[in-house]
Amino acid sequence: MGVIDRIRKIGERWFLTEPLLFAVYCSHEFCENDSLAVAMRTGNRKVEFAPKILENASDAVLTEFLKVEMFRILLKHPYQRQPPFAAKPLLTRASNATIADVYEVSRGVKKQMTGTELNLPGGLCFEEYYNLLKEGAASANCESAGDAADDGDGEKSALGNGCAGEQGESASGEGAADGKGGENNVGSSRDSWGKTREKLDELISELWDEDEEACCDINGFIEVAEADNNWGSISGKLQGIIKASKKVDMDYRKMLSLFKTSVISSKRRLTRMRPNRRFGFEAMGSRYELSTNLLIAVDVSGSVTDKSLSFFFSVINRLFKYGIEKMDVLQFDAKIQDEPEPLKKACKTVKVMGRGGTSFQPAADYYCAHPEYDGLIYFTDGYAPPPKFNTKRPIDVLWVLCGKSAYDANGKRIKTLKRNRVTYIPGI
């Protein structure tokens, strides 16, 4: 019996015993991929698997691989929640750590899930695990785990969701090729295996991309399971984070993009040279000039860290390239600290000043007094009274708060301001 037939048999069993997993199973197309160097991966509404790797796996191991991928989908890791400009290998490891934290993965499969061998704290969400890995907090543990694998029986675990055994053997055998068995060869072998593992982890999350429609469908399956209270064998702990995944906080990248669209589209010009969409040349058409000037007001009081500023500027730099003619950065705490300067220069020069007080009014006054700016972005923690915008012209203001706690404390109050929107950047 081929691998695809065995997978179908598992799906048929789930029809009776695992209604939620069965619903997810039916929502994705299963595709053989002989060139795939990992056992299984998900993304783009499909599940790819490698027959050459899985043909000798027992039914229990095959079921376990399939369950792990179904849990990834239910947690929406392939379709949502990816940090901006994310490193794919770290996404895989963060996803593995999240699943292993709430689901008892069998020992054989767990060995092949990179990230689960690290001594990471429990009870964190996907984004938090990603940030831990990104910051290199677990680098020492990762190195010791590699040493432990070498000091055993000479074999390497196939880290990365089920890589081919030949790759693990060739990586571990590299150091023994030289009869001298010197330290340089051992180090070379470790480096080679590290690169191999990196590539395998990248393969697993290679297809992951934002897909709101897929997220809506998955949330529908979860809602049915909640309404019927029929979760199959899914544990209460895993049920909890699956339910929580329906309420992932707003995507600040989307909010920034919406803000960009709104300030650009305000540059509407009527013209006789273009037909009206509804009435043809009998009415004037519209032309949108893609040139927008933004003022970015950065809170440089001590409550905003250098790390937060650096991350914020990185996001702004990438999201506001097209159609933005000019971006000036204004530093403020209780008052404006200096004249606005271009974003490129500000990225290198803006530093936290360490002052105590914060007032949003000076930046609001400056924005209102300079009509050449089409929009204003505040980057702050939000801990100060809201400003008044003393102008009759339409304004567009977006508040980007540095962290969820700041959003929870101040977001509701900011939303009451007319033509003001608010979001936050998590994990900084």
pLDDT for the residue 13: 96
Whether 91 has a pLDDT exceeding 90, the answer reads: yes
Contact assessment for residue 225 and residue 115, using Cβ atoms and an 8 Å cutoff: no
Separation between Cα atoms, residue 106 and residue 72, nearest integer Å:
16
pLDDT for the residue 249: 54
Query: Where residue 254 falls among pLDDT bands split at 50, 70, 90?
Result: low
Pick the CATH number of 252-424 from 1.10.3210, 3.40.50, 2.60.40, 1.10.8: 3.40.50
Taking CA atoms, 33 is separated from 40, 60, 204, 233, in Å, by 9, 21, 13, 30
pLDDT for the residue 125: 86
Tokens 């054989």 correspond to 108
Separation between Cα atoms, residue 231 and residue 21, nearest integer Å:
9
The residues, any chain, with a CB within 8 Å of residue 237's CB and separated by 6 or more, are: 102
**3-state class (DSSP) for residue 171:** helix
Tally of residues, the chain: 428
Whether 124 has a pLDDT exceeding 70, the answer reads: yes
106's tokens: 């069998």
Instruction: Please state at what angle helix 165-173 crosses helix 183-204, rounded to 10 degrees.
Output: 160
Whether 7 has a pLDDT exceeding 90, the answer reads: yes
Residue range(s) occupied by CATH 3.40.50 in the chain? 252-424
**What average pLDDT does range 18-37 have in this prediction?**
95
**What average pLDDT does range 75-80 have in this prediction?**
91
Tokens 């929406």 correspond to 76
Instruction: Please state at what angle helix 88-102 crosses helix 236-244, rounded to 10 degrees.
Output: 140
Separation between Cα atoms, residue 201 and residue 91, nearest integer Å:
8
